[in-house]
């Protein structure tokens, strides 16, 4: 008996166009994985956790390796590393919370490869860049056999490891709007160390203020406290109409703790995550407010 001879060896594909990538993806047999930075995929393969039959490397598709801006907003190609995002002055000026979140992933070395599209597609509730993207109102640009579609980032993940992507579909880019006037975003995460760790809790906040400093719009997101990243409208409402003073921030913290429905696990307890969700949201709101006021 020759048990392993039936197994197809791993096929590596490096298409040069999106069209080819979609064709390969739609027509591939067995388990197919997209390779962008590879900081999740390669580690999983190395540990034997993932054994794909096909890998489609998207780093040879030039539009996917670029950050572009068209007047409506930014398009961050799915193969753009978080280090490249940090070096893009316009993006950093507009959405510092998103850029900083991407710069929290792993280590300096990891950030040279890791992408926020990959972070999103990995569909971990603890992904650092996702709450920041959600707070900033980012959308995923999806390309598939039937063309393009855009999905709000908060609706992209259906559960841990599960996304809305259908057979043949991949994320082409992450789209961020132009930043409205007097708007600031921020993301904070809690880890017991300073790097090389995964968020125990994360909180993203984006606020828009009027000329008097009163909040006219807010988005509040929470990570690692539910099966997917939450966009919490109730928490956002605690800020709208306020100048993000202490009572408003206390209400925000309480709302975030109330919205959190985490689990106990090796990274933290339920009660810890509930409490710290509020603490981080409060701290992130202060940073976002100061950014909206042009203080930082």
Partner 1 sequence: MNFQAGKDTLKRKFDTVGTRTPRPDGLDKVTGRAQFGADLTAPGMLWGMILRSPHAHARIKSIDTSKAEAVNGVHAVVTSRDFGPCPDDVLDIRENVMARGKVLYDGHAVAAVAATSRSAARQALKLIKVDYKVLPHVTDVDEAMKPSAPILNRKLFTKGLDKTPRKPSNIAERFEFGHGDVEAGMKQADLVIERTFKTEATHQGYIEPNACLANMGSDGRADLWCCTQGHFMVRQVCSALLGMDASALRVTASEIGGGFGGKTTVFVEPVALALSLKASRPVKIVMSRSEVLRASGPTSSTSIDVRIGMKKDGTITAGDATLRYQGGAFPGSAVPYGAMAAFACYDLKAVRAVGYDVIANRPKQAAYRAPGAPMAAYAVESVVDELCKELNLDPLDVRLKNASSDGSKASYGPNFDVIGLRATLEAAKAHPHYKARLKPNQGRGVACGFWFNFGGETSVSLNVSADGTIGLSVGTPDIGGSRASIGNMAAEELGVPHDKVRCIIADTASLGYNDVTDGSRVTFASGLAAINAARDAIGKMCERAAGIWGIPVDAVTWEDGAARPSSPNAGNHEPLTLADIAAQAGATGGPISGHCEINAEGAGVSFATHLVDTEVDPDTGYVKILRYTVFQDAGKAIHPSYVEGQFQGGAVQGIGWALNEEYIYGEDGKLQNPGFLDYRIPVASDLPMIDAVIVEVPNPGHPYGVRGVGETSIVPPLAAISNSVSSAAGVRMTQLPMSPPRLLKALGRI
- Interface contacts to partner 1, rule CB under 8 A: 1-5, 7, 47-48, 190, 192-198, 200, 265-269, 271-272, 274-276, 279-280
Shortest distance, position 218 Cβ to partner 1, whole Å: 22
Q: How far apart are CA 100 and CA 205, in angstroms?
A: 13
Q: How far apart are CA 12 and CA 152, in angstroms?
A: 30
Shortest distance, position 283 Cβ to partner 1, whole Å: 8
Shortest distance, position 267 Cβ to partner 1, whole Å: 6
Reduce the DSSP state of residue 88 to 3 states and report it. Answer: coil
Distances (CA, A) of 37 to 57, 78, 117, 141, 156: 9, 9, 10, 18, 20
Residue whose C-alpha is closest to residue 75's, from 148, 1, 155: 148
Distances (CA, A) of 21 to 12, 33, 59, 75: 12, 11, 11, 19
Of the pair 170, 220, the CB lying nearest partner 1 is at 220
Of the pair 40, 172, the CB lying nearest partner 1 is at 40
Shortest distance, position 74 Cβ to partner 1, whole Å: 30
Of the pair 46, 212, the CB lying nearest partner 1 is at 46
**Number of separate helices (H) and strands (E) present in the chain:** 11, 14
Spatial strand order of the sheet with 32-35 comes to 11-13, 54-57, 32-35
Shortest distance, position 168 Cβ to partner 1, whole Å: 28
Shortest distance, position 253 Cβ to partner 1, whole Å: 10
- DSSP per-residue codes, 131-177: HHHHHHT-EEEEEETTEEEEEEGGGTEEETTEESPPTT-EEEEEEEE
Of the pair 36, 201, the CB lying nearest partner 1 is at 201
Of the pair 7, 166, the CB lying nearest partner 1 is at 7
Of the pair 269, 296, the CB lying nearest partner 1 is at 269
Question: For tokens 């880019």, what's the residue?
Answer: 173
Shortest distance, position 133 Cβ to partner 1, whole Å: 22
List beta partners, residue 218: 207
Of the pair 7, 93, the CB lying nearest partner 1 is at 7
């Amino acid at each position: 008996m020759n048990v392993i001879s039936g197994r197809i060896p791993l096929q590596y594909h490096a298409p040069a166009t999106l069209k080819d990538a979609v064709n390969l993806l739609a027509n591939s047999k067995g388990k197919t994985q997209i390779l962008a930075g590879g900081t999740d995929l390669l580690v999983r393969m190395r540990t034997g956790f993932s054994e794909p039959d096909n890998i489609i490397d998207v780093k040879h598709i030039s539009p996917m390796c670029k950050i572009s801006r068209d007047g409506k907003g930014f398009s961050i190609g799915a193969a753009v590393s978080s280090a490249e995002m940090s070096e893009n002055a316009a993006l950093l000026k507009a959405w510092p919370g998103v850029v900083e979140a991407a710069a929290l992933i792993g280590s300096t070395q990891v950030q040279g490869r890791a992408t926020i599209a990959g972070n999103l597609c990995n569909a971990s509730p603890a992904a650092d860049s996702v709450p920041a993207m959600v707070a900033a109102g980012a959308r995923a640009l999806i390309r598939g056999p039937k063309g393009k579609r855009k999905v709000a980032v908060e609706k992209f993940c259906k559960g841990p490891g599960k996304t809305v992507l259908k057979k043949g579909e991949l994320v082409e880019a992450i789209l961020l709007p132009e930043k409205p006037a007097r708007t600031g975003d921020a993301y904070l995460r809690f880890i017991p160390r300073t790097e090389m760790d995964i968020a125990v809790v994360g909180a993203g906040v984006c606020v828009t203020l009027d000329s008097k400093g009163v909040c006219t719009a807010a988005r509040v997101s929470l990570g690692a406290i539910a099966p997917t990243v939450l966009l919490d409208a109730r928490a956002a409402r605690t800020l709208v109409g306020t100048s993000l003073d202490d009572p408003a921030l206390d209400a925000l913290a309480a709302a975030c703790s109330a919205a959190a429905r985490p689990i106990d696990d090796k990274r933290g307890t339920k009660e810890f995550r509930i409490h710290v969700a509020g603490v981080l949201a409060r701290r992130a709101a202060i940073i976002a407010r100061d950014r909206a006021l042009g203080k930082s």
